[in-house]
Amino acid sequence: MLSCKSVDCLVVVNDKADVGDLPEFTEPSSYRSLIGSLLYACGTRPNIMFSISYLSRFMQTPSIQHFMAVKRILRYLKGILDFGLSYKRIFEVQLHGFSGSDYAGDSTDCKSTSGYVFPLGILLSAGIPGSKMLWLNQ
């Protein structure tokens, strides 16, 4: 993966990772290890949290399609190595809260997906779920 090409988009649009007739991945322990490592990376790269959390649903029996999605996230991270969050001390704290949800949006088992964010600092722009957010600290 060190010499792979990077991708600009984290996930493929309208790509459903259903558990239907997909061939199983032969090494589920390496899949679990990759998911765990990527969850650790979410501390400084929160934009990958939704994708990793979604793929972690399939840790028991991952398919080859799920592993390909994890590899795409790794290729995305290769393209944004110079970006990340830096946590700095601020003196005036402003707490804002935002949430979003998708009730029964998973076509496989009708599970709901929800998320929330409570940024400390100045929130410059926020949009609908899936849009890019830009945060700055004072």
Residue at 124 is within a domain: no
**Residue ranges making up the domain that contains 39:** 28-81
Domain count, the chain: 1
In this prediction, residue 122 carries a pLDDT of 57
Residue at 77 is within a domain: yes
Q: Quick check: 126 pLDDT over 80?
A: no
Residue at 60 is within a domain: yes
Report the predicted TM-score, pTM, of the whole model to 2 decimal places: 0.64
| Residue 86: partners with Cβ closer than 8 Å, 6 or more residues away | none
What is the chain's Cα-based Rg?
17
90-94, long-range: CB < 8 A, 24+ apart = 90/120, 90/121, 90/137, 90/138, 91/138, 92/138, 93/120, 93/121, 94/120, 94/121, 94/122
Which is it for strands 98-102 and 122-125: parallel, antiparallel or unpaired? unpaired
Residue at 111 is within a domain: no
Residue at 42 is within a domain: yes
Residue at 36 is within a domain: yes
Residue at 51 is within a domain: yes
pLDDT tens-digit readout, 104-119: 777 777 777 777 777 7
pLDDT tens-digit readout, 53-92: 888 988 888 988 889 999 999 999 988 888 777 767 767 7
pLDDT tens-digit readout, 4-43: 888 887 777 666 665 566 788 888 899 999 999 999 988 7
Residue at 76 is within a domain: yes
